[in-house]
Each structure stands twice: as structure tokens, then as C-alpha cells.
Structure 1
Amino acid sequence: MNSRVRALFGRVFRNTGYLLTGKGATAALALGSTAIAVRALGLEEYGILLLINAFTSSCSVSTRFQSWQPLLQYGGTAFKRADKSGFQTLLRHCAVLDGLGAVVALAVAVIFSQVLGQALGWNATAYGHMPLWYLTVVLFMNAGSAIGVMRLTNRYELSVLGDTVAGFVRFLGCIVGFFLHWSLIGFLALWYASFVASFVLDGLIALWVLAHTDGLKGFRLVNVPWLSPIQGLWRFTFSVSVDQALSRLASRLTVLIVGVVLGPQSAAIYNVTWQISDGMARPAQMMTPALYPELVALRDKRDWASIRQVTNRILQALGAFSFVVIVAAALVGPWLLHVLLTVPWSGTRTLLLLMTTTAILDLWDVPLEPILVSLNRAHQLLFGRMATMCFSLPLLYVFATLWGMTGAGVATLLSELGIFLSRLGPYLLMNRHRNFQNSQEDTLHPSLAKERNGD
């Protein structure tokens, strides 16, 4: 392993540690907030709070542009060269994407809330127009461009502060609400405030980072171009955003299909089993956002040898980690499922091993997806996911009908196998060429393209 690759792994593991620490703190605070809120509101009203928040979050996620990815994909060269004009135009472009996604999310939330309001447990007679004002929280749910600035400048320790602060606001607010006997409206206001706090903090940190970065000071939002002319930017943004939206949609539809075919109890077992399996693989999956900017930097340097070396090293490490996950799932998983859902151990081990294998296949995307995205193959990832969804959802319905929970587990495994092959195939084809020929030419910033042509 050469010195450049060793330094890269050092940064990746350090930044992954920051992300895991932030996620862990946020998860712990969320558990504490849930316990207190349930005791303050009662299970029924807390359930309404949860459904309202889940609905608004789904509207935000499904219409969100992954603006941090185009910022890293196209902004690295301009950033490293202190090209203030080019980088700041791209940053404003990404901010426009965040704003556009938020406005669309609000429109979607307002429209669908009129249809789904009664089904999700709220109504004007009991709660007035409370959910309507809460829907505006979608305007503060996405700070993708700010997160992109922190990741591009290698300030991952700052990128987790927004979510952590939101967790603290909710936790401390729940304690106050418990002693002051807040109603459901009070807790909704608390959840709203936590999103606003996270959004504002992320924005302020991003501006602070820009102000303290040599050559990029003086960022402004007036009398300047808003949209970047970089070729391929819109196609790239559309591909990565729709791919992520379909991924989240598929996970929700999968649980829904299992519930329709096998009933709500089976849907709960299936969903929690997947959460256990995915949770065991989560530490390694957190490498993806830390790895992506490093691969973009290697691409800009045309260091194909290091890209191959990084990929091989990560796949070797994932092989060992996968074995540990399988053993842990077999030994601990059934007991954990029994504790959470009070279901018998018998009959759960097969499903758990199937779902764990599925999570491991998803885990092996850790190096492949960021490599393909950095080499401008995001559209292939999207086509692969769309094709897989076309066969996997009907297959899940058929297999669950024929073989119950085991059939659902097999169908889920086959679906993830399709996703994995749709990533592995393009990578192997590119890897046949010494320099990943024609894989990234249209991703480049114009200044880098001129340099390569000798201008």
C-alpha cells in the first residue's frame, strides 16, 4: 500500500468514526425522547405525532435533490484551485436545488395530507388545523448543500453537529414537556423547532467554513449567477436523486406488500428483522459518504492505480466483516428479535439469515457505488435500480404468497442481488481498461478538461 492510499484510508476511517459517533449520539437521544414523549402523551397521541412526522419526512425525502453529491462531484477541482467564481456558482446552484426540493415537498405534503389525514389519525375536529402548519417543517429538512461544503472541506466532525443538536433539542424539550404537561401541539412545536435548529446550524457552519477557507471567502447570494453551466450536471443530479428516492420507496413498498399478503404481525417481524440485519452492517455502510470525496480526488488526479488498490483493500476488509456479521446474526439475532417483538425463536433464524445475507450484499456496494458515481455512471445505477424494482416487487408478492415469511426473505435477497450485479457489472467492464477509458470525460470541470488537452 503506497503512502497516498495509506493517508486516504486514515482520513476515511477517521471521518467514518465522526459519522458513527454522531449517528450513535442521535440514536441514543432519540430513544430517550421517545420514552419520555410516550409517558407524557400516552401511546395513542405519541403514535399520531410519529405518523405526522413520518408523513412529512417521507414527503421531504421523496422530493429531495441529493445536492451534496453534485457539489462534491464537480466542485472538488474548483475548490482546490481556489476558483471562487466557479465554486460559488456551483454552490448557489446546489442551494437552489435544496430550495426547489423543499417547495415541491411542501406542495406534495399539502395535497396528500388532505387525502391521508384521516387515515393517519388526525382530523380538524379533534386537533384543529395543527397538521397544516406543521407541514411547513419540510422547508427545513434538507441542508444538503451545507453538508456538501463540510464534506468537501474534510470537516466531517462538523457535519454531524446539526443532527446531534436536533436530538438534544428534542430530548431536553421532552423533559420540559413532561413536567409541564404539554399537549400534542406542544410536542409538535418541539419537533418543528428541532428541525429548524439543525437546518440553521448546518447553514451557519457551512458559511463559517467558507469564510475560513483561503481563496473562497466572500460568498454572496445577490448579483451573481445562480445556475452552473457545467455539462452533465443536471443528468447527474437527476440520476443520483431519483436513485435514492426509489431506494427509500422500495423499502416502504416491500413492508407494505408483506403486510398485505401475510398480515400486519408478519410485516412487523419482517421489518424489525431487516432493521436488526441492517443495523449489524451499518458501521461499514457509513464509509460511503467518507469514501466518495476521496475517490473524486483520485479521479481528478487520474490515479487509476490507487482507485483499484482502494477498491481491492475495501472488498477484502468487507469479506472479513461480512463473516463477523453472519456469525453475530446467527447467535444474537433471534434472541434480539424475541426481546423486541416477543416472538418465539423458532422460525425466525432462517428469515434472519436471509435478511443478513441481503444486508451483506448491500454492504458490498460500499466501494462500488461511490466509484461508479465519481466516474459519471450514476445513470447506470438508476437504470439498474429501476429494472430490479420491476421484477423484485411482483416476485416478493408471489414468493410471500407461496412460502410465507421465508419466501419474502428469498425475494428480498434476490432483489438485492440484482442491485449488486447492476453495480458490479459496470465496474468490471470499466476495470478492463487501464485508465477506466471514457468513464469520466464528461464529468470534468471545464478548467480541468483544458489542462488535460494541454491548454
Structure 2
Amino acid sequence: MNSQIKALFRRVFRNTGYLLTGRGAMAVLALASTALAVRTLGLEDYGILLLMSSFVMSCAVATRFQAWQPLLQYGTSLYKAAEKKPFQTLFRHCSMLDALGALMGLAVALFSSIWLAHLSGWAAAYGHIPLWYMTVILFMNTGCAMGVLRLANRYELAVLADTAGSVVKFVGCVTGFFLHWTLPDFLLLWYCSTAVAFVLDYGLAFWVMARSDKLKGFRLVNVSWLSPIKGIWRFTFSTSLDQALGRLGSRLTVLIVGAVLGPENAAIYNVTWQISDGMARPAQMLTPALYPELVALRDKRDWASIRQVTNRILQALAIFSAVVLVVATFVGPWLLHLLLTVPWTGTRTLLLLMTITAILDLWDVPLEPLLVSLNKAHQIMIGRMVTMCFSLPLLYVLARAWGMTGAGFATLLSELAILLTRLGPYLIMNRNKSFEGKPEA
């Protein structure tokens, strides 16, 4: 590797270390919070809490614009060149996307809550989700703020807000365990942890911009809120829809399992995925740190370095995947039993299926940011849509036929199909040594 590539990897792994530290703390706190909530509410009520929060999160991610991606895709050169006015216009544009997505998500939640309550089985005991809890969607979109922190290379700050939200949730779960809180109390706790993370994210973003003199002359009135950059709306809708479908799919799988197999099995399925995904999470943290570097290489049209970086990361992921599979085989069942107090029998197969799914997701780590940076977000989005058209019905059919094993197998097939839609274009470009794809300016 030349000195440029070595410096790039040092930055990527340093920033990944920041993200990994924060995510590791969040994972530990999340697992502890889950164990406390299950022991306080019981597995059935915790499953209902999970289904309610999954429904609200599904509404949020289904309508969320990934505001950080256009901010990085089109704002990197503006930020580095200190072009304040066009960058401020782009910032207002992306913050408006956050607000618009939140309002759309709240509207979807209000209109669909009663129907979904009856479908999922919580209506008999709790009725529809309280209207006050649905307003938490207004605090779930912080993409623009995260984009600013990544542009400024302040990844150590980017994890503070989510970590603070996890701390609030954990402290609340400890309190609830000793005070014997009920389901509405835990709903309020989930609400407060989300609001805390939102305030910190945007507060830190404005603080970083102020320190770098990017807020000089910044206004909210009598200025343009729409960026004139050509192609920004196509890029925004493509990346946002792809991310929305991905996250919505993961939430809908929990809801489908709950509708077919009941709240208890939904809780087991979800926690099993959390364990599998948590073991693969260290490598997944490369994605947000890698994307800005690929954008910078794209702006320089350094295609040889792009190919070298991507191939090196894929080689490292092969080794990491083998380690994850071994750890899941020996540690996973014990951890699942510890968290949910369910017997080991019948959980090992599901855990292995979900671990293989998480490993397949790992191989997307360098591919998605590479294709997005080369302005191929539209192709990625189409691949996701085609995959979901068969994966969700397949999940329903296999879950009814084979129970939890069928649900795990359907999830694995879905992730394999998504990987192939990303791997195919990369292999073609790599073979042809052609990575042309600079977005319109």
C-alpha cells in the first residue's frame, strides 16, 4: 500500500474505533436493559412493548429521508472549501428533510395504529398504542446532524448522543425493576431516551459548525431552503428509499413473526437477531467511516485506490466472518438463555441461521458505500425493492410452516439476495476496471 492508502486506513480504523466504542457500550446497555425489562414485565408484556416500539420505529424509518447522505455526497467539497452560503443552503435543505420525514412518519402512525393493534394481538389487553407515545417519531430523525459530525471528522462526538440515550434507558430499567414499573412506564422511558439523543445530536452539530465558522451569517428566514444542486432529489429519494426499505424490512419481520407465532416468539426472534448482529457489528462500523473517504477518492477520480481499498476490506471481512461464526456457535445459546430465560433446545438452529445472515450483511460493508459514492444508489434501491417483494411473503409462509426455524431461514435467503444485488455490479466494474460514476454537480 502507498502512503495515501495507509493514511486512509488509519483514519477509517480510528473513526471506526470511536464508533465501535460507542456501539459496544450501547450494545452492553441494550442487552442489560432487555434482561431487566423482561424480568420486570414478563416475557409476554415485553413482547408487546417490543411490538409497539417496532411499529413506531417502522413508521419512522418508512418515511425517513437519509439526510446525511446528500450532505456528504454534495457537501464534502463545499465544507472543505469553506463555501459557507452554498453549504448553509445544503444544511437547511437536509434539516428540512429530517423534519418532513418525521411529520410524515407521525401521520402514518396515527392512521395505521388501530388496524395494526388488532393484527398484532395487543389490542385485547392494552388497546391501541397511546397517542402520546407516537409523537416520539418527531425525535427520531437526526440524519443532518450526523452528517455534519462526519463531515467535520468528529466521529468521537457522533456516538455520544446514542450512548446517552442508552444510558437513560438502562438507568430507567434499573429503576423500573425495583419499583415494579408497568408497560406504560416503560413506554415513557423509551420516549425520554429517544428525545435525549435527538437534542444532543443537533446540539453537537451546531456546536461543531460554530467552532469551524460555518454558522457565520446563518439564517432561517428570508433564505432558500432548497439546494439547487442538480440530481440531489433523485439521489436523496434513492438512498432514502433503500435505507427505509432495509430498516422497515427488519422491523416488519418482527411484526410478521409476532402475528404468526405470538409475542413471545417475536421477542425470542428479535433478541436472537440482536445477538447475531451484535457479534458482527464491529465490522459493520466501517461503513460510516469509509463512505466519506470513498467520496474524497471519487472527487479525485482515483479509481485504482478505490479498487484497492475495497478488495482489502473484503479480504479482512472473510477472516472476521469465520471468527463470528465460531463465537456464535459456542457463546450465542448461553447468552440467549441468560437474556430471555428460554431453554437452549430449539434456539441453536435459529441462532446459527441468524448469524449466517449477519455475516452476509457484513459483506455489504464496503459495497454499498462504494456504489452510492459512484452515484449508483438508484440501482441499489431497485435491488432492495425486488428482494422485499418476495422475502416478506416468504417469511410469512415459512414461519407458518416451520415456526422459528422457517423464519430464520427466510431471513437468511432475503439477505443473500440483497448481497447479490450489490456484489454483481462491483464485480463487473472491478473486472472492467471502470468505476466512472461521479454525480452531477
TM-score, normalisation: structure 2:
0.87
CA-CA distance at 1:105 after TM superposition: 1.4
CA distance in 1, matches of 2:211, 2:148: 12
User: Displacement of 1:79 after TM fit?
Assistant: 0.9
1:37-436 map, 5 Å: 50-116=50-116, 121=122, 131-173=130-172, 188-214=187-213, 217-257=216-256, 270-340=269-339, 345=344, 348-399=347-398, 406-436=405-435
Q: In the alignment, is the contact (CA less than 8 A) between 2:64 and 2:101 conserved in 1? A: yes
Offset at residue 172 of structure 1 (A): 4.1
**Letter paired with 2:362:** L
Matched residues in 2 for 1:393 and 1:374: separation? 29
Once residues 213 and 329 of structure 1 are traced to their aligned partners in structure 2, the CA distance between those partners, rounded to angstroms, is 44
CA distance in 1, matches of 2:94, 2:411: 34
| Counterparts of 2:148 and 2:195, CA distance in 1 | 19
Give 1:244 shift.
Answer: 1.5
Contact in 1 for aligned 2:106/2:134 (Cα 8 Å): yes
**What one-letter code is carried by the residue in structure 2 that aligns with 1:197?**
V
32-41 vs 200-209, which moves further:
32-41
Cα offset for 1:358?
2.2
Q: Is residue 82–residue 216 contact of structure 1 (8 Å, CA) maintained in 2?
A: no
1:328-380 CA-partner distances (Å, limit 9, x unpaired): 22333344444445566565544443332222111100000000011111111
Distance 1:436 1:266, change over 3 A: same
Residue ranges of structure 1 left out of the alignment (5+ in a row) = 446-455
The one-letter code sitting in structure 2 at the alignment partner of 1:323 is: A
| Cα 1:30–1:247 shift into 2, 3 Å | same
**Are the aligned partners of 1:355 and 1:413 in contact in 2 as well (CA < 8 Å)?**
yes
- More divergent stretch after superposition (426-435 vs 32-41): 32-41
Is this contact kept in 2: 1:211–1:218, CA < 8 A?
Answer: no
Distance 1:158 1:262, change over 3 A: closer
Residue type of the alignment partner of 1:275: Q
User: Counterpart in 2 of 1:449?
Assistant: none
Q: 1:394 to 1:187 in 2, by over 3 A?
A: closer
**Residue identity matched to 2:100:** L
Give the letter aligned to residue 212 of structure 2.
T
Q: How many residues align?
A: 440
Distance 1:202 1:215, change over 3 A: closer
Aligned residues: CA RMSD: 3.3
Moved more, 272-281 or 34-43: 34-43
Structure 1 counterpart of 2:366, one-letter code:
P
SS of 1:225's partner is coil
Which stretch shows the higher mean deviation, 220-229 or 269-278? 269-278
> How much does 1:185 deviate?
5.6
Q: Is this contact kept in 2: 1:130–1:185, CA < 8 A?
A: no
Query: What is the rounded CA distance, in whole Å, between the counterparts of 1:32 and 1:162 in structure 2?
Result: 19
Any idea what the Cα deviations from partners look like across 1:118-147, whole Å, max 9, x if unmatched? 666479x989x9922232221111111011
Corresponding residue SS for 1:366: coil
The amino acid that maps onto 2:70 is: P
For structure 2, which runs of at least 5 residues remain unmatched after alignment? none
CA gap of 1:33–1:331, structure 2 versus 1, over 3 A, is closer
In structure 2, distance between residues paired with 1:34 and 1:349:
20
Q: For residues 53 and 414 of structure 1, do their structure 2 counterparts lie closer, same or farther at Cα, with a shift above 3 Å needed?
A: closer
CA distance in 2, matches of 1:235, 1:183: 45
Offset of residue 274 of structure 1: 3.2
- Does residue 5 in structure 1 map to residue 8 in structure 2? no
Query: Percent sequence identity over matched residues?
Result: 71
Structure 2 CA distance for aligned equivalents of residues 277 and 420 of structure 1:
17
For 2:397 and 2:190, locate their aligned partners in 1 and report how far apart those are by CA, in whole Å.
Answer: 40
1-side partners of 2:47 and 2:400: how far apart? Answer: 30
Secondary structure of 1:436's counterpart equals coil
- 8 Å contact 1:74–1:444 — kept in the other structure? no
Q: How far apart are the structure 2 equivalents of 1:104 and 1:98?
A: 10
Task: Say if 1:369 and 1:423, in contact at 8 Å, map to a contact too.
Answer: yes
In 1, the alpha carbon distance for the partners of 2:106 and 2:303 equals 43
